[in-house]
Structure formats: structure tokens, C-alpha cells
């Protein structure tokens, strides 16, 4: 299933095709070269002063790391994320040898967007999640105090919405993608004055 963005002008294909499905193919695998490409894309994201605060915990389906990440997800996310080929947790490093890392969360966000867009480029899908226990991730993976888990990411291949089984989940999966109009998104002169 595809749900390309309906845009006012053409945008880069990976951005138009990116969405966050929950219906994933439980038989699909993400190969080592694909995992490497996802992480390389994230690694080359911009960051404040080249501080590179992003780090990732990686678990392929069938591994203890996958099971450990899955166990930290809330029940709503576990209900579908168990079908993912790959589960990751994006972690921001908040200090380095110079002290506090400015904009660490922003840097992790940029890296994660690179990862997600690379997934699209590889014919995969990715779904980012806030619904997980950061303390459980820290405990399970032995994170130091300056490493803060901020986002979980499921990666895989899209499947029919029917794998979600419950009618409300299937309807949500098939629902039209929506964004605020550009007139309410970008302003000029003063807040509320549309730039376009």
C-alpha cells in the first residue's frame, strides 16, 4: 500500500512517499547492507558544531536486541511493531569532552529523518514512536547517564492493512494523510500572515 503526499508542487520522491504505516510484513527481512545504509544516512546528518549527538540501538527480528526493544514499547505499539524487520532506538548523547552538547535532541531528530528517508529510498518503510519506556531502554542496554533514549523506530516492508486485524486499526491505516495548509504553516511580516 502506498500513500503518497498530495503536495502543492512536486517534492523529492522519498519525502512524498514517506509515511508511517503500522501494517508490516512479518516475513520481510532487512539485510545487513540495508541496515548499514540506514545507519550511514543517519550518521551523515547535520548537527550543531558537528557534535554528532545521535546514536542508535539496533535489533533485527529474531535477536535478543529486538526482543529487548520490543519489550520497552507500550502495548499499543507492541500490538503491531512485533512484525517489524528491525527495531531501533534513537539515543541522544547530551555531553562530550567539551561539556554539554547544544541542540542534541534536534541533532537526533535530523539523523532520524535521514534514516527514515533512506528507508524509503531502499523500498522500506519506517514508523517512529514516542510510546516506549526510556528508563527500561537505559536499563536493558546499560546506557550511561549522558545517553538519553528519545525515539523508537520500526523498519520493515509494508503489508496489507488487514494484518492489523481490528477494524479501527485497519481504518486508521487506510485513512487519508493530512497536513495543515501552507497558509497556516509559513508566515511573513507578522505571525499569521501567510508567506504563500
Output the CA torsion 47→57→86→68 (10° steps).
-150
Percent of the chain with pLDDT over 70: 100
Please tell me the predicted confidence (pLDDT) of residue 1. Answer: 81
What is the SS3 assignment for 41? helix
Please tell me the predicted confidence (pLDDT) of residue 52. Answer: 96
**Helix residue ranges, H only, 52-187:** 64-72, 75-81, 104-121, 134-141, 167-174
Confidence label for 86 from pLDDT (cuts 50, 70 and 90): very high
This prediction has a pTM of 0.95
- Per DSSP, the residues of 17-28 read H------B-TT-
For strand 125-129 and strand 147-156, is the pairing parallel, antiparallel, or unpaired?
antiparallel
Contact by Cβ (8 Å): 150, 108: yes
For the stretch 169-191, pLDDT in tens is 999 999 999 999 999 999 999 99
For the stretch 8-59, pLDDT in tens is 999 999 999 999 999 999 999 999 999 999 999 999 999 999 999 999 999 9
Amino acid at each position: 500500500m502506498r500513500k503518497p503526499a498530495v503536495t502543492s508542487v512536486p517534492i523529492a520522491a522519498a519525502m512524498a512517499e514517506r509515511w508511517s504505516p503500522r501494517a508490516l510484513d512479518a516475513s520481510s527481512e532487512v539485510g545487513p547492507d540495508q541496515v548499514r545504509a540506514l545507519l550511514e544516512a543517519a550518521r551523515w546528518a547535520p548537527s550543531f558544531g558537528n557534535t554528532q549527538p545521535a546514536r542508535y540501538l539496533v535489533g533485527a527480528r529474531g535477536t535478543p536486541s529486538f526482543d529487548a526493544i520490543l519489550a520497552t514499547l507500550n502495548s499499543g505499539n507492541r500490538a503491531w511493531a512485533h512484525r517489524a524487520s528491525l527495531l531501533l532506538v534513537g539515543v541522544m548523547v547530551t555531553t562530550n569532552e567539551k561539556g554539554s552538547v547544544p541542540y542534541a535532541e534536534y541533532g537526533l531528530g535530523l539523523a532520524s529523518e535521514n534514516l527514515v528517508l533512506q528507508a524509503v529510498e531502499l523500498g522500506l518503510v519506517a514508523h517512529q514512536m514516542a510510546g516506549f519506556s526510556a528508563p527500561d531502554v537505559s536499563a536493558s542496554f546499560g546506557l550511561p547517564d549522558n545517553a538519553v533514549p528519545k525515539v523508537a523506530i520500526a523498519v520493515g516492508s509494508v503489508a496489507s492493512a488487514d494484518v492489523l486485524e481490528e477494524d479501527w486499526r485497519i481504518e486508521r491505516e487506510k485513512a487519508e494523510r493530512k497536513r495543515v495548509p501552507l497558509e497556516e504553516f509559513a508566515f511573513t511580516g507578522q505571525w499569521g500572515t501567510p508567506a504563500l
